[in-house]
Amino acid sequence: MNFENKTLQENLNYLKLPTILQNYESVAAQSARTNLSHMEFLNELIAQEAAERLARSVKRRLSQAHLPYIKTLDMFQWHHPSKINRQQIQHLSTLTFITEKINPVFIALTGLGKTHLSIALAREACRKAHTVLFTTAAEMILKLKAACQANQLIPELKKYTHPALLIIDQLGYFTIDDHGTELFFQVISNRYERASTVLTSNRIFKDWHLVFNKDVMAASAILDRVLHHSEVITIEGESYRLKDKIISQESTENQ
């Protein structure tokens, strides 16, 4: 290795440009074969470094988001629900709701894709450099309660209040007790007009007091903050997961 190469590699290591360090010799050889100009050579190296850095940052954000599985809008079965506003959801995929601090709320019975759609929006947000966290309502409450017992509530709350996008899935699948309701309110209150929160629920708004241990005042306070800047997405139909079983059962009965 000559002195110039050694110095270049040391500088690239110091500047933390690993992709350029790995590829500069091959790109230089290609440039010589194809008569690339100095500017074209430099642009190619920087483009490779930028692309690799973007890929790493997206991968890191996806890992930090704790998404339960891979779902995209392209994978969604648009023909299955009997009622769904596709244009509304495609507008949400532009992610302007994040910069405008709007809260999308998916209301649907189980098996109609509200979790799928929330994950798809989360993945797109990660790709567009937003910090994201996915959680179920049950998981969030359990972790916040555990943090209370360990005198670590403030740092644990920050995990839910700091991301640009928080997805709270499966609200309404179990009753939240008084302590859990108070903790849920703290999350929503701290994010109010500061960051966007996606919620998915199997219950219409007038029944949310049943989710929060029949506490009408607490439910109203939470709804007031959620719905002040919100976009409600209502999906109707039969469960997609039960569809094939129902069809199979009907076919058996008709034989």
Q: What is the mean pLDDT of each run of 10 residues along the chain (255 residues)?
A: 75 81 82 85 84 86 96 93 95 97 96 96 96 98 98 97 98 96 98 98 97 96 97 92 50 48
The domain boundary, picked from 27, 48, 65, lies at 65
- Residue 252 is assigned to a structural domain of this protein: no
Together in a domain, 23 and 128: no
Domain carrying residue 11: 3-65
- Residue 147 is assigned to a structural domain of this protein: yes
Q: Helix or strand or coil: residue 173?
A: coil
Q: Which two tokens stand for residue 63?
A: 């890992």
Please, what's the b/e burial string for 159-174 (b: 16 or more CB within 10 A of its CB; e: otherwise)? bbbebbbbbbbbbbee
Q: How far is it, in rounded angstroms, from Cα 70 to Cα 15?
A: 34
- Residue 42 is assigned to a structural domain of this protein: yes
Q: Give the pLDDT of residue 241.
A: 59
Order across the sheet with 103-107: list the strands: 132-136, 165-171, 196-201, 103-107, 230-234
- Residue 102 is assigned to a structural domain of this protein: yes
Q: pLDDT of 125-165, one tens digit each?
A: 999 999 999 999 999 999 999 999 999 999 999 999 999 99
